[in-house]
Amino acid sequence: MDTATVIARLDEARTADARTRYRICDETAGEFLAAGTAPSFEVSSADLRLDPYFMCADRYWRRRFLDRPTARTAFECARWMSGHVRDECWGAVAEQWALGNGFLNRGSVESTDPFEEMVREAGAGTDTERLAFFLALFHAGKLRANFCFDELHAFLGHSPSAVAAGSLRAEPVFVALQSFAAFGSRTLTVAYASELLEQAWSATTRSRHTVDICLNGLAFAAPFEGQGELLRACAQEAVEEHPDDHMFHVRLATGLHMCGRHDAALESIDTALTLLAASSTAILGVLQDQYLTKRDAIQEGRLRALRDAEQQRRWDGQAAANAQLERSLHTSSVRAVEVVAAFTAAIAFAVGSLQVTLTGTLPLSDRLWLLAAQGVGLAVFALLIVGGTWLITRSHHQRDRGTE
């Protein structure tokens, strides 16, 4: 294809509206494929909305990967990047193409043998680390999309392409992938995964893909204490940094849902759906189905929480009523004992006083003293019964007051 014509068309697309820009870039990419040649222009950014050169190259390589989602295609893409992508944006482009095409082609996972062959073919040139890094990200993108946590951890740690990446293994996106694998694994500890997460998250050069992988790992991690709050806090930071990113709003909704904040979660997932509808992503339909499924889960959780709260309110009311009834019965029993004691003392006094009054031969003054002594004794008896009952039931009363 004529380079001057291609550049003229892409420059025209730069000033066109989004729909026209998309059409021009897609048509140009198709013409490159039909001619059997790769784009000859230079890519100087990773902007999928405004840079027609990157958009055209992105569509060209996406079609190449969809046609043959293999290590060979990844190798050819990485080799093309070494001569056509500027150094300052190479990392962003590599993450976008390797991880993105790995996700789109997650259904065709190869063994690591072809990647080892590609690394050997690359030799020991100056671009070997970059090429191996791209190959590793492409395969890791497939394993991540399929949630193969332990296999991903092993690949990142020991595969030839990962080892050949050399110093690039310290890149935040690579560490984030290791954290993702560790969080999902049932054999690795949460402490180890959290350490990797902190390393990737705190990196000053962390990219949008790094943030996305970190949140993805937290969202799909094996359950651990504090998971929901950690995801919510990280996702909130991501939303503040990228307010128009629908994926981060979904992660925030997930974290809020885990924390039981269903109303806020619904607000976040609705925001994500609105932002997704306004985007031009190629997998809009797939993501929309996922987001709607998440929304249904949040809504169901919200309704369940409302039902549980109402049921708990009823149980609390019934428990309070039962406690009040128990206290009433207990108090009534105590009062009954006291009444019986007093009544018994009164009857005993009456019977005793009648005998003294009617049949006694003592003088009147002695009878009165005898009656008084008898009355005092019976009164003391009644008081002992009432006092003993009060002492016995005192601890029970105090416990009841403490639970109110």
Confidence of residue 233 (pLDDT cuts 50, 70, 90): very high
Mean pLDDT of 285-305: 84
Instruction: Read off φ and ψ for residue 131, nearest 5 degrees.
Output: -65, -45
- Check pLDDT > 70 for residue 12: yes
By residue count, the chain amounts to 404
Long-range interactions of 308-317: CB distance < 8 A, separation 24+:
none
Residues sharing a CB contact under 8 Å with residue 101, sequence separation 6 or more, in sequence order: 61, 62, 65, 69, 74, 138, 141
CA–CA distance, 302 with 244 (Å, rounded to integer): 26
The three-point CA angle 205-257-96 to 5° equals 30
> Who wins on pLDDT, 373 or 144?
144
What integer pLDDT is reported at residue 129 of this predicted model?
Answer: 92
What integer pLDDT is reported at residue 343 of this predicted model?
Answer: 60
- Check pLDDT > 60 for residue 351: no
Which of the residue ranges 135-144, 160-169, 172-181, 279-288 would you say has the lowest mean pLDDT? 279-288
Bridge-partner residues for 85, per DSSP? 43
What integer pLDDT is reported at residue 280 of this predicted model?
Answer: 63
Angle between helices 262-277 and 284-359 in degrees, nearest 10: 170
- At residue 260, the 3 state secondary structure works out as coil
Confidence of residue 399 (pLDDT cuts 50, 70, 90): low
Give the CA distances from residue 84 to residues 35, 76, 121, in Å, rounded to whole numbers and listed in that order: 19, 12, 20
* Residue ranges covered by each domain of the chain: 326-403
Residues of the chain above pLDDT 90, percent: 59
Residue with tokens 């189905």: 289
- Check pLDDT > 80 for residue 358: no
Mean pLDDT of 181-185: 95
Confidence of residue 64 (pLDDT cuts 50, 70, 90): very high
CA–CA distance, 109 with 113 (Å, rounded to integer): 12
> Who wins on pLDDT, 376 or 294?
294
Confidence of residue 402 (pLDDT cuts 50, 70, 90): low
- Check pLDDT > 60 for residue 51: yes
Residue range 199-218, pLDDT digits in tens: 999 999 999 999 999 999 99
CA–CA distance, 275 with 242 (Å, rounded to integer): 12
- What sign for the dihedral angle of Cα 230, 231, 234, 240? negative
- At residue 123, the 3 state secondary structure works out as coil
Q: Among 100, 110, 91, which residue's Cα sits nearest to residue 167? A: 91
CA–CA distance, 39 with 33 (Å, rounded to integer): 9
Residue range 298-348, pLDDT digits in tens: 888 878 877 766 677 777 777 777 777 677 666 666 666 666 666 665 665
Mean pLDDT of 109-116: 88
Q: What is the DSSP letter of 42?
A: P
- Residue 16 falls in which region: left (phi positive, over 0), alpha (psi -120 to 50) or beta: beta
Q: Which amino acid is at 394?
A: R
- Check pLDDT > 60 for residue 9: yes
What integer pLDDT is reported at residue 322 of this predicted model?
Answer: 75
Residue range 237-269, pLDDT digits in tens: 999 999 999 999 999 999 999 999 999 999 999
Residue range 24-41, pLDDT digits in tens: 999 999 999 999 999 999
CA–CA distance, 239 with 171 (Å, rounded to integer): 22
- Check pLDDT > 60 for residue 195: yes
Confidence of residue 401 (pLDDT cuts 50, 70, 90): low
What integer pLDDT is reported at residue 288 of this predicted model?
Answer: 84
- At residue 85, the 3 state secondary structure works out as strand
Give 336's Cβ-side CA count (13 Å radius): 6
What integer pLDDT is reported at residue 235 of this predicted model?
Answer: 96
